[in-house]
Amino acid sequence: MSDLSATALATQYLGLELSGPIVASASPLTGDVETLKRLEAAGTAAVVLPSLFEEEVIDEELSLHASLEQWRDSFPESMNFLPEVNLGELGPDRHVRLVSEAKAALGIPVIASVNAAHRGSWSRYATMLGDAGADAIELNIYAVAADPRRSAADVEAGYLEIISEVKSAVQVPLTVKLSPYFSSTAHFAASAVDVGANGLVLFNRFYQPDLDLQSLSVQPRVDLSDARELRLPLRWLAILRPQLPSTSLAASSGVHSAADVLKTLLVGADVACMTSAVLRHGPEHVASVLTEIRRWLTERDYESIAQLRGSLSAAGAEDPSAFERSNYRKVLSSYQPVLTW
């Protein structure tokens, strides 16, 4: 059994050299510089800052406008009593500041996330964050295709236009966080790469609303992921890796343990994005996961994670069809119900 070298866990993602395979994806934790330092100290190889949501930017700008407008017809001398407004904390400026502060405080790559709603806004915000020092941009394309007049082809064409426009506007690598709900995931993934995406993140979690029976209202509900949710990205990472050999691939949703990270690497991911586990256990959880990964590699005489990456993808698996239709049949036939009635 050989000792692992200091670079055994090193990997590349979006052309960036990373010390390990774990990326802290966007969450409230990555919006705080002190917590970002703890994540880096624990061995996190890169961080994704909280998404810049265009709706939040617009709401803040409208609130400021309304506050100023209410004094428009007041006596001039009353303006002296207005509180001082910190315009630097408004909208995109707050995200720009966070990028700058994170870059100054950390030695690991900082990835900025953008979620816009209108044509042109995507590239404008991405450019601002790239100019602030972000090492890469992640497009968090989170939208529900609820308009019955828009076909699947129309929806996908709109997304591809966004990717192409942002790629033309920024000078840093670009990755796209995909939804799992495309009619043809493989086709859209390849199309996204064709128009400029350097990487893909599989998958975005769509938080489903709940109903409050007391108030009869729709309520937002956040449920942290569990390891079972990893199965969907594992399937698609395995399918896409041999088809997109030079594209950076990241696993997201359900990454909690060393076993989860190792599974993502085996099917071809370059990195595993961790959020819920860090929210549950704190930034130091990353260190324990990395320790367990090293132990697993050492026990099996692997010298690096590069040796195992993709060995169980659709190209390397003994039965590639296990990731497609045959798996469905095997699962159904293998289940043995335990009757308690």
Q: Tens digits of per-residue pLDDT, 283-324?
A: 999 999 999 999 999 999 999 999 999 999 977 766 666 667
Q: Is the dihedral of CA 39, 43, 44, 46 positive or negative?
A: positive
> What's the mean per-residue pLDDT of the chain?
87
Answer whether 27's CB lies under 8 Å from 50's CB.
yes
So what's the pLDDT on residue 70? 47
CA separation for the pair 221, 60 (Å, rounded): 23
- Does 271 have pLDDT greater than 90? yes
Q: Tens digits of per-residue pLDDT, 145-194?
A: 889 999 999 999 999 999 999 999 999 999 999 999 899 999 999 999 99
- φ, ψ of residue 2 to 5 degrees: the values are -95, 150
CA separation for the pair 113, 320 (Å, rounded): 34
Answer whether 39's CB lies under 8 Å from 47's CB.
yes
Q: Is the dihedral of CA 26, 27, 32, 36 positive or negative?
A: negative
Q: Name the band, by pLDDT with cuts 50, 70 and 90, for residue 1.
A: very low
Q: Name the band, by pLDDT with cuts 50, 70 and 90, for residue 243.
A: very high
What contacts 288, CB < 8 A, 6 or more positions away?
Answer: none
- φ, ψ of residue 277 to 5 degrees: the values are -65, -40
So what's the pLDDT on residue 177? 97
User: Residue 202: helix, strand or coil by DSSP?
Assistant: strand
What contacts 174, CB < 8 A, 6 or more positions away?
Answer: 14, 126, 136, 137, 138, 139, 163, 166, 167, 196, 197, 198, 199
So what's the pLDDT on residue 80? 55
Q: Where are the beta strands (DSSP E) in the chain?
A: 11-13, 16-18, 22-24, 46-48, 52-53, 110-115, 136-140, 174-178, 199-202, 210-212, 217-219, 248-251, 271-274
So what's the pLDDT on residue 62? 41
Identify residue 313 by its one-letter amino acid code. Answer: S
What's the predicted TM-score (pTM) here? 0.86
So what's the pLDDT on residue 71? 45
- Mean pLDDT (whole number) for 17-44: 97
Answer whether 102's CB lies under 8 Å from 33's CB.
yes
Q: Closest Cα partner for 198 from 115, 278, 254, 138?
A: 138
Q: Which residues pair with 12 in a beta bridge?
A: 17
**Candidate from 95-109, 123-137, 214-228 with smallest mean pLDDT:** 214-228
Q: Name the band, by pLDDT with cuts 50, 70 and 90, for residue 106.
A: very high
Q: Name the band, by pLDDT with cuts 50, 70 and 90, for residue 3.
A: confident
Q: Is the dihedral of CA 52, 58, 63, 67 positive or negative?
A: positive
Percent of the chain with pLDDT over 90: 69
CA separation for the pair 229, 319 (Å, rounded): 22
So what's the pLDDT on residue 341? 64
Q: Tens digits of per-residue pLDDT, 204-242?
A: 987 788 899 999 999 888 888 898 999 999 999 999 999
**Candidate from 5-19, 92-106, 213-227 with smallest mean pLDDT:** 213-227
CA separation for the pair 26, 275 (Å, rounded): 7
Q: Name the band, by pLDDT with cuts 50, 70 and 90, for residue 329.
A: low
Side-chain half-sphere of 341: how many Cα atoms within 13 Å? 1
Would you tell me which CATH number, out of the four given (3.40.50.720, 3.30.1320.10, 3.30.420.40, 3.20.20.70), belongs to the domain 11-334? 3.20.20.70
Per-residue tokens: 331: 């699962």
The span from the first CA to the last CA of the chain, in angstroms, equals: 51
Per-residue tokens: 33: 């510089």
DSSP conformation class of 313? S
So what's the pLDDT on residue 222? 80
CA separation for the pair 48, 38 (Å, rounded): 14
- Does 128 have pLDDT greater than 80? yes
